[in-house]
Amino acid sequence: MLAVGLSGLAAAAAVAGCSSGHGSATGAAPGSPSASIAAPCIVPGTPFAKRITHFPSADGHETVEAYVRERSPVAAGSSAAASDAASVGVVIDHQSQQTLCDSMGWADQFASEGYLAVAPTLDDNDQVTETEGAVAYLRAHGATKIVLLGASMGGTTVLQTAAEERPPVQAVISLSGPENFYPLDATAGAPKLTVPVFYSAGELDGSFAAAETNLYDATAEKDKVLNIVPGTDLHGFDLLSTLLDPINAFIRAHV
């Protein structure tokens, strides 16, 4: 599946110190590379290590490790990367029991679309403040328009973050996000959302299609999309591999 391929290829190349394919040496992360790296897929001294950064969570209680990818030189001349795209930052929040190793390939993908992308590693208790820290990082590095995208637990995280973040983000995308994932509660956040939202889940993916539908129904914002993909149980980042075209269209329409 493409989602597995993106994260897997990036992680494998990082371990090997390779400079080709997704996560190549071009487009190093803004700012100074971090000396201490926790992500198991990143080998110090490789080109990938130069894209790892650390920043504080919004409440200052945590230090967040993240993979940062500037928009690629190829994207800079493409029709998808109009001048406005250069000011757009995308936060990519991973699923439960994952790290930036599982989302860094998607940062590469959105960088290729012309956006500054950050994929943080989230813990199990401070996902919202850590995501807010990622938003602050993007804004400090030139992004004036922010898109939040999350898979599964990350979907719940970005919904709650979007309901609380001020100034508001420009769009939020939840893929297979449950209504609740302790301590997250998207059911409380959905009625407060005032930014465009894209909801999606696989039709056969257990309770997640119902959860995304319920959250869509509870969302106050009128500019919202519900895309229940028929005949599939793909979940989170695996589902994203089938939705790149509509998601890219949604992002372009709102930034």
Task: Tell me the pLDDT tens digit for each residue of 93-147.
Answer: 999 999 999 999 999 999 999 999 999 999 988 999 999 999 999 999 999 999 9
Q: CA torsion sign, 74 to 79 to 81 to 83?
A: positive
- Rounded Cα–Cα distance for residues 201 and 145 (Å): 25
Query: Domains (ranges, CATH) in the chain?
Result: 55-254 (3.40.50.1820)
The per-residue pLDDT for 187 is: 94
The widest CA-to-CA distance across the chain, in whole angstroms, is 48
Q: Does the structure show a pLDDT above 80 at 232?
A: yes
Q: Does the structure show a pLDDT above 70 at 230?
A: yes
Q: Cite the beta strand spans of 137-234 per DSSP E.
A: 145-151, 171-175, 180-181, 184-185, 197-202, 224-229
**Parallel, antiparallel, or unpaired: how do β-strands 52-56 and 63-69 relate?**
antiparallel
pTM of the entire predicted model: 0.85
Give per-residue pLDDT as tens, 205-222: 999 999 999 999 999 999
Q: If you average pLDDT over residues 152-171, what whole number do you get?
A: 97
Main-chain dihedrals φ then ψ at residue 143, nearest 5 degrees: -80, 125
Residue 19 has, within 13 A of its CA and on its CB side, a CA count of 8
- Rounded Cα–Cα distance for residues 129 and 114 (Å): 26
Give percent of the chain above pLDDT 70: 81
Give per-residue pLDDT as tens, 12-36: 334 333 322 233 233 333 334 455 8
**Beta carbons of 134 and 219 less than 8 angstroms apart:** no
The per-residue pLDDT for 26 is: 31
Q: Does the structure show a pLDDT above 60 at 5?
A: no
